[in-house]
Amino acid sequence: MGVTPTLLGLPAFRGSPASSSAEASPSAEASPSAAMPRRGPLIDTFGRVASDLRVSLTDRCNLRCTYCMPAEGLDWLSRDDLLSPIELNRLLRLAVTRLGITSIRFTGGEPLLYRGLEDIVAATARLTPRPEIALTTNGIGLAARAARLAAAGLDRVNISLDTLDPVHFAAITRRDRLNEVLDGLAAATVAGLGPVKVNAVLDPATGPRDAVDLLRFCLSHGYQLRIIEQMPLDAGHRWRREDTVSARGIEDALRAEFDLRDDSAPRGSAPARLWLVDGGPATVGIIASVSEAFCGACDRTRLTADGQVRNCLFATEETDLRRLLRRGADDTALETAWRTAMWRKAAGHGINDPGFVQPQRPMSAIGG
């Protein structure tokens, strides 16, 4: 199969041009390209292979973070809209056994609100070959469930925590539940769900100070801090670049208190650029999703709680696997629809393009 160079420095397969803007695949009924592989890795026209599946289990959340949703919450998906456990397990099996997925991360909304979480984790752990299983959570309720999740087969967790200041926390999340998050972090460590990572999105007013405090906290407890640039994925579509803390701003704030040196270890498809802190071995990661996009190395595919495949976090279209499931589609039809969605993945998310269009779904309905 012939290849031609692309602006990403990756191969693009002839016969299936890809858009340069963030756009997901068309509907599941769209005909696959003749050049699209029917077997093997889950590949796109730029030669990127998706091996990391992000699964949103629910769009519901028990926090109301200002950069995500309004204080009153959102109109949640109905139970009928959600994939049933049987439907979800079938898609997870297909992803691992036919699409080459090696890592599965369960997200939300808040995945701890999903009643059957331990059962889904256990079923996923029984798949062959067994994928790595991770969870991204706000940590509320994790203290009571960390041991059970570990026993079910969960390997590690990322816990969202934007500040250690109780006043800042309440202002950002509109809830007074910081201690529950800290309890969840401690329980994850005891349960062996390591390395435990802390994900932080900084408030523009208090973020620089919060970043320093968070890094000191993580260094003292053995957690790995990852600070993420705020992205245009809020429900109100009010994101403005000038109201966020950039990767450079994060780095400057940390350098004022710590010695940071670039970690020379190969980054691969990891979104975070790692810095050795005070000579190492501890590191801090900065995820510059907006200012220093890493789309060229992306290895992710996404499944929403209502059964839609998204080939990019910022996709404006989706592929409906739920409809295929409920119409009696066999595994080959499901596989082809999923492959077609990923085959047409765009070169990049396009945030920095003049014509960028924010997706209608907010982050809580997509999954991190």
Looking at residue 239, what is its pLDDT? 66
The answer to whether residue 186 scores a pLDDT higher than 80 is: yes
Q: How many domains does the chain have?
A: 1
Query: Region 101-113: what's the mean pLDDT?
Result: 97
Q: At what angle do helices 85-98 and 331-343 cross, to 10 degrees?
A: 70
Query: Region 68-88: what's the mean pLDDT?
Result: 91
Rounded Cα distance, 273 and 262, in Å: 8
Looking at residue 243, what is its pLDDT? 79
- ω into residue 208 within 30 of 0, thus cis? no
Find the farthest-apart pair of alpha carbons in the chain and give their distance in angstroms, rounded.
59
* Residue 167, both tokens: 């006043």
Q: In the structure, what pLDDT confidence band is assigned to residue 237 with cuts at 50, 70 and 90? A: low
* Nearest CA among 258, 199, 232 for reference residue 313: 232
**Cβ partners under 8 Å of residue 308, min gap 6:** 318, 319, 320, 321, 322
Percent of the chain with pLDDT strictly greater than 90: 69
* Residue 175, both tokens: 């809830």
Query: Region 284-289: what's the mean pLDDT?
Result: 92
Does the residue 77 lie in any domain?
A: no
Looking at residue 235, what is its pLDDT? 63
> pTM of the prediction?
0.88
CATH number for the domain harbouring residue 167: 3.20.20.70
The answer to whether residue 327 scores a pLDDT higher than 60 is: yes
* Residue 135, strand partner residues: 106, 157
Does the residue 84 lie in any domain?
A: no
Q: In the structure, what pLDDT confidence band is assigned to residue 68 with cuts at 50, 70 and 90? A: confident
The answer to whether residue 108 scores a pLDDT higher than 90 is: yes
The answer to whether residue 16 scores a pLDDT higher than 60 is: no
Does the residue 117 lie in any domain?
A: yes
List, as one string, the DSSP characters of 320-340: EHHHHHHTT--HHHHHHHHHH
* Residue 264, both tokens: 């020379």
Does the residue 83 lie in any domain?
A: no
Residues 251-264: pLDDT tens digits?
Answer: 999 999 999 999 98
In terms of pLDDT, which residue wins out, 268 or 207? Answer: 207
The answer to whether residue 5 scores a pLDDT higher than 70 is: no
Percent of the chain with pLDDT strictly greater than 70: 88
Query: Region 190-200: what's the mean pLDDT?
Result: 97
* Residue 303, both tokens: 């499944």
Q: How many residues does the chain have?
A: 368
* Nearest CA among 304, 234, 204, 183 for reference residue 65: 234
**Cβ partners under 8 Å of residue 135, min gap 6:** 105, 106, 107, 111, 121, 149, 154, 156, 157, 158, 193
For residue 186, give its domain range.
3-71+90-366
Does the residue 79 lie in any domain?
A: no
The answer to whether residue 27 scores a pLDDT higher than 60 is: no
Rounded Cα distance, 209 and 252, in Å: 11
Q: In the structure, what pLDDT confidence band is assigned to residue 31 with cuts at 50, 70 and 90? A: low
Does the residue 85 lie in any domain?
A: no
What is the rounded average pLDDT for all residues in the chain? Answer: 88
Does the residue 210 lie in any domain?
A: yes
* Residue 123, both tokens: 């079923």
Query: Region 98-124: what's the mean pLDDT?
Result: 97
